[in-house]
Structure 1
Amino acid sequence: MYIIKLNAIDSTNAYLKSLSLKQTQKDFTVVVADEQKQGRGQMGTSWQAEASKNLTFSVFKEVSNLEIKDQFYISIAVALAISKALLELQIPKIKIKWPNDILSENKKIAGILIENVIKNNKLYGSVIGVGLNVNQKFFNDLPNASSMQLITGVVYNKDEVLHTILKHIEYYLKKVNEPNFTKLKQDYEALLFRIKKPSTFKSSTEQIFSGFIKGITDDGKLVLLLEDDIVKEFDLKEIQLLY
């Protein structure tokens, strides 16, 4: 694992992507920044992180043996890796909010942004961005956000937290190279926030509706049981799971 540490950068994902365009990137290259000025989340949202209080980093993983149709398993592997690392660090009540927000006690403490590099209609590499709230104590206008310190009262050594997470990311990304993804999917669904519970959703047209989460499809769509026993699949752009 090759780690690049920076004081400040616009986005670790953007920096790592630009590096991979200029040269062949080493597998498991990691870029860590104390301050990320233009951090991004899912669907073009911004990621707010107080400088020096949190972990913002990106990992490059070569995934050329993975089929494009199976690319959501990268997301599954990383979500599981962060979840297992946080459980090892004794952060309580860890859940994965579809598709890949990490919650503790129903509060968001980590987000993942995965940008896959496709060449000639084949997966080449994956740039995996992670934002983890470690020692931040105040979140402006973010009622559902929290941090490791707020939840446990412990002030964490960021390097130790990073080492633990990278250990698990390396382990789980190797699982993506294995021929059978059944166990990965089962483990992901076991940690899925509000699975098999009545939940509220908002559609892309701002409609509010209820349903039961049954699980996910192999390509990452959310499977819901709706009224009249209708089972329907939704992708990320179609619905949002509300807290």
Structure 2
Amino acid sequence: MKKNINLYKFNELDSTNDYLERNHKNYEEFDVICAKNQTHGRARRRNDWISMEGMAIFSFFLKERENWKIEDYLKLPLIAGLATIRGLKGIENLEYKFKWTNDIYLENKKLCGILMEKIDDVYIVGIGINVNNILPGTLKNKAISLTQATNKKYEIDEIVKNIVFEFQILCENLENGLWEDILTEINEINYLKNKEIELKFGNEAVSGVVRDINENGEIEVLVKQDENGKIVIRSFSIGEVFEKIIF
């Protein structure tokens, strides 16, 4: 059942995810912690996340479900990505793409990052979207904001509520056995499909061409298996992806 969405807004936090890690017991599921600025925002692998006023910076959490399997929770980053794109499309219908496992792209540039973390019996979803902020020239070839794409200004609270609402709907759909439909929608906006990439995981790295995201939420990559040039499909549940630039 979809719940009302309450926004708790702060001028500044160290990190909305860190705040919820410390204080989630004081909030209800799907309550949203928003910050105008973060002093210690984090991306995946504990990398720093640059934040600036005009962004949508927020976190919320999902409680563990008795009837969910571990495989269901592994799909949450994909569900968060699709919910973000659905929510954004409700505001501005642009050609957003989902980059496995945790980024949203627009015009081949990064628009949004997503960080999923587990603490106690909850899964915290942290999202940072470039909305009304103007990115510095040093990032103009890598990142974009909505306002830079359209020359419009947006109501950040409306965007946040749209996304959390869509996340609730997709979680319900997952519970109701509609993962195949969700996955089809995700693959239709798969930013990496048919791109040549390098994927790093642990101390290993593989190069290949991306195909679909499979039913387990893993990315499938066509790679050369040996020196004879045999091509096989390998699936990865984790890893950092780098696009290869073809000159």
Give me the TM-score of the superposition, normalised by structure 1. Answer: 0.86
Matched, 1:181 2:182: no
The number of aligned residues is 232
Q: Any gaps of 5 or more consecutive residues in structure 1?
A: 119-123
Distance in 2, matches of 1:54 and 1:198, equals 29
Contact kept in structure 1, 2:197 and 2:210, CA below 8 Å:
no
Quick one: distance in 2 between partners of 1:35 and 1:178?
A: 37
Distance 1:218 1:25, change over 3 A: farther
Residue 17 of structure 1 aligns to which amino acid in structure 2?
A: E
Alignment of 1:151 onto 2:149: yes
Contact 2:9 2:35 in 1 (8 A): yes
2:1 is the counterpart of 1:4: no
In the alignment, what sits opposite 1:100?
102
Find the aligned partners of 2:20 and 2:200 in 1 and give their Cα distance.
Answer: 33
Q: Residue type matched to 1:240 in 2?
A: V
**Post-superposition shift, 1:25?**
4.1
State the 1:202 CA deviation. Answer: 4.5
Q: 2:123 aligns with which of 113, 123, 126?
A: 126
* Corresponding position of 1:31: 33
How big is the shift at 1:207?
A: 5.7
- CA gap of 1:68–1:79, structure 2 versus 1, over 3 A, is same
Gaps of 5+ in 2: 225-229
Match of 1:85 in 2: 87
Q: Which amino acid aligns with 2:219?
A: L
User: Which whole-Å deviations, capped at 9, do the CAs of 1:46-85 have from their partners, x for residues lacking one?
Assistant: 211212x111000111132321122122112111111112
Counterpart check, 1:192 vs 2:193: no
| Alpha-carbon distance between aligned partners in 2 of 1:208 and 1:75, rounded to the nearest angstrom | 22
1:13 and 1:95, CA in 2 relative to 1: closer, same or farther beyond 3 A?
same
Q: Please point out which of 211, 215, 237 is paired with 1:214.
A: 211
Q: Deviation above 6 Å: which 4+ runs of structure 1?
A: none
Contact 2:111 / 2:144 at 8 angstroms: preserved in 1?
A: yes
- 1:168 lines up with 2:166 in the alignment: yes
Q: What is the percent sequence identity of the aligned residues?
A: 24
Q: Output the amino acid matched with 2:189.
A: L
Which residue of 10, 16, 21 corresponds with 2:20? 16
Which residue is equivalent to 1:224? 221
Aligned position for 1:73:
75
The residue number in structure 2 matching 1:121 is: none
Contact kept, 8 Å, 2:97 with 2:105, in 1: the verdict is yes
Between the aligned partners of 2:26 and 2:65, the Cα distance in structure 1 is: 13
Match of 2:117 among 107, 110, 115: 115
| Alpha-carbon displacement from aligned partner over 1:13-46 (angstroms, at most 9, x marks no partner) | 11111113xx364121211111111111112222
1:176 is paired with a residue whose SS is helix
Report the AA paired with residue 129 of structure 2.
Answer: L
